[in-house]
Amino acid sequence: MPLEVDLQELTSRIKDRVEIEAVIARKVRLTRKGNRLWGLCPFHSEKTPSFTVEPARGFFKCFGCGEGGDVISFVMKQDGLEFWEALTLLADEAGVEIPRLSGASAPSPLRDKAREALSLTRSLFHQELGSPSGSGARKYLEDREVSSRMWEHFSLGWAPAEPGWLSQRLRKAGIPDEAMVEAGLAYFVEGTRRLRDRFWDRLMFPVADRSGRTVGFCARFLPGSQSEKRGMGKYVNSPEGPLFPKRRLLYGLDLLADGLREAGEDTPIYLVEGNLDVVMLHQSGYPTTLAALGTSITEDHARALRRHKRPVFLVLDADEAGKKAAWKAGRLMVAEGIPVKVVMLPDGEDPASMISAGNEAQLSQRLDSAWDILDWRLEVWTKKPDFQDPAVQVKAAREIAEWISSTPDPALAEIWSRRAGDRLGLTTESLRRMTENQSQDLSPKAVMSAGNQPPKKKPAQEALKKNEFEILAALLHDSSLFPRHRQELEALELGSSVPKRLLSWCRERRLQSLPFDLFAALREFPEGDTQAFLEAIRQNQPINPEIALESALQALSSNREMAYKESRKEERMEQGELSDSELSNLQRKIDLSASDEHP
């Protein structure tokens, strides 16, 4: 097979040989109705099927959550894979050989060097933990009763306080400065080319994705360190980016599959707050423990955990922040159909502190006696000093009704209804009516009703976003358009962050005489918002890229002007400065050259 390959043709050949309905049927029970197949959406919880597959067109669409695409998109979304990973997986199934990538689809040297830098940095930090400079970190771990086995198991490391320690070693290994920045290991001092290490004088926790690739770090200062004296954050994470999508990562995720096999079928997944909690619980025989990375639990986390089909135990701190985090995480898990329990810890304690203090037996007892999430919420409400106040009781009933209505499991909803009725002093019938009202309130129709209507979209702003999408879609589908419109494109300033990033990337690639088509972009930006934007472009190829580009460029300036006026009127309206006539005009639909539909 030649080195140069038309990857648009390659994806078409793969999709021709792989039946989308067969791939989706492995995850979703499908029922045929006419020329479509229907099932419960795998991307959000629902009781009535709104997920459909059209085999003839090779597309799926959920009318509930809006997810849609082709078989490659499905595998990416369902299994959390990058575009190239999903393409390779399906190519193997289809018996299609993927040639050695070159030209437009060659791997990004910068991205590959960044991954190399992350892997090398993990080794460097781990080696340094055993050196004389790591003595303070070793003592801290020993004082916390962290075994040397866990140092190895999690590849714990030490970043010395020496300026430029890491960047100097990475340069010697052939890692360019730009790759260190791309990896989040260093940054340029503003306005200069002077490189500065991001991590120094800290205990290092490497973070890996599900495949075991190092994607970033979480760094903790030691008690009494200069970082603590300067009032710096206790924890510093790698910056959010394509290689480190923090809202989708969990600390310990790379060890979860082995942990689940080791622990047995009935073992839950334990969700804790801190990295050290994960390490200590693994040490104590709980190898299915995970933690979020400086963020609260997200829908992405919940969807990822649902795939394992295990209960989730929330082992969060007993303070108010921990309770709020448990409430939010619990709601997300319940909505995804995951059985959830809450582990109540003693005030002021966390799993790591209890194990360090020799209270493993007490912690084990707490884990074994975890509360069902609804029982926990009922206990919180009924223990309030003012619970006998009817207004408080109504608030409690409404919240509990929301929990019941959010679960996709009808049997669980019935059990919860009986328990809640007993605790709150309500009849099953009255609670059922409240639950039904909550379900109606959460329906799409109710959300769009007058009482619950979300903020109106700004027509000019939406048209502006559509123009920017069209410009990038045209360029990435036909990069030969750039020289024909070079003067306009080089002077163009875009407002949205993702199109702005992609246009800048196109310019840089062109200056370096490197290809900048869609597939090169998919390789360069494999994750995050940029990847989602590129996936939308892949699914919406313009019929005539040149006409699409010219139309978008022509409409851009007028839409930008209208967007500015729209924004100014909104500001004046908030300040009460608009006249009645202006308020009336504001309600009229802006006549835009672009259509209302946009990605």
CATH number for position 159: 3.90.980.10
Task: Name the token pair of 334.
Answer: 């319940």
CA-derived radius of gyration, the chain: 27
User: Is 174 found in the same domain as 297?
Assistant: no
Instruction: Please state, in angstroms and rounded to a whole number, the distance separating the CA atoms of residues 272 and 460.
Output: 44
Q: Which two tokens stand for residue 421?
A: 């009725």
Residues 55 and 164 in one domain: no
> Is 167 a domain residue?
yes
Same structural domain, 202 and 229: yes
Looking at residue 458, its pLDDT comes to 55
Last residue of one domain, picked from the residues 83, 105, 127? 105
Q: Are residues 582 and 466 in the same domain?
A: yes
The enclosing domain of 465 has a CATH number of 1.10.860
- Residue 383 lies inside a defined structural domain of this protein: yes
Dist CA 468 CA 121 (whole Å): 38
Q: Is the domain of 503 the same as that of 384? A: no
Judge whether 281 lies within some domain. Answer: yes
Q: Can you tell me which residue has the tokens 């460029």? A: 553
The pLDDT value recorded for residue 592 is 39
**Same domain as 438, residue 491:** no
Identify the pLDDT of residue 585. 54
What's the length of the chain?
599
Give the three-class secondary structure for 272: strand
What is the b/e burial string over 214-244, where b = at least 16 CB atoms within 10 angstroms of the residue's CB? bbbbbbbbbeebebeeeeeeebbbbebbbbb
Number of domains in the chain: 5
What is the pLDDT, as a whole number, of residue 3? 40
Last residue of one domain, picked from the residues 396, 421, 452 = 452
Q: Which residue has the tokens 């309206």?
A: 573
| CATH code of the domain containing 342 | 3.40.1360.10
Nearest to 382 by CA among 416, 340, 422: 422
Is 409 within the bounds of a domain?
yes
Q: Which letter does DSSP use for residue 241 in this model?
A: B
Domain end point (choices 201, 216, 244): 244
Same domain, residue pair 334 and 231: no
Q: Which residues, at least 6 apart from 133, have a Cβ–Cβ distance to it below 8 Å?
A: 158, 160, 161, 162
Same domain, 49 and 176: no
Grouping H, G, I as helix, E, B as strand and the rest as coil, residue 289 is strand
**Residues 567, 503 share a domain:** yes
N-terminal to C-terminal alpha carbon distance within the chain: 36
Domain of 40, CATH number, reads 3.90.580.10
Tell me, yes or no, whether 597 lies in a domain. no
Going residue by residue through the chain (599 aa), what tens digit of pLDDT does each one get?
A: 334 446 678 888 888 888 899 899 888 889 988 888 999 998 877 778 999 999 888 999 999 888 888 999 998 887 777 787 788 888 878 877 776 554 444 445 787 899 999 999 999 999 999 999 999 999 999 999 999 999 999 999 999 999 999 999 999 999 999 999 999 999 999 888 899 999 999 999 999 987 788 999 999 999 998 888 888 888 999 998 778 888 778 999 999 989 998 888 889 999 999 999 999 999 999 999 999 987 788 887 887 888 788 999 999 877 788 888 899 999 999 988 899 999 999 988 999 999 999 999 999 999 999 999 999 999 999 999 999 999 999 999 999 999 998 888 889 989 999 999 999 888 878 887 887 766 554 433 333 333 334 444 457 778 888 889 999 999 998 888 898 888 888 888 888 888 999 999 999 888 888 878 887 888 778 766 788 888 888 888 888 888 989 898 888 878 777 877 766 666 655 555 545 555 455 444 434 343 443 33
123 and 212 share a domain?
A: yes
- Residue 591 forms part of a structural domain: no
Instruction: Tell me, yes or no, whether 172 lies in a domain.
Output: yes
Q: Which pLDDT belongs to residue 313? A: 97
User: Which pLDDT does position 190 carry in this prediction?
Assistant: 85
Please give the residue range of the domain that contains residue 189. Answer: 109-244
Does 1 map to a domain? Answer: no
| Same domain membership, residue 405 and residue 348 | no
Same domain, 425 and 464: no
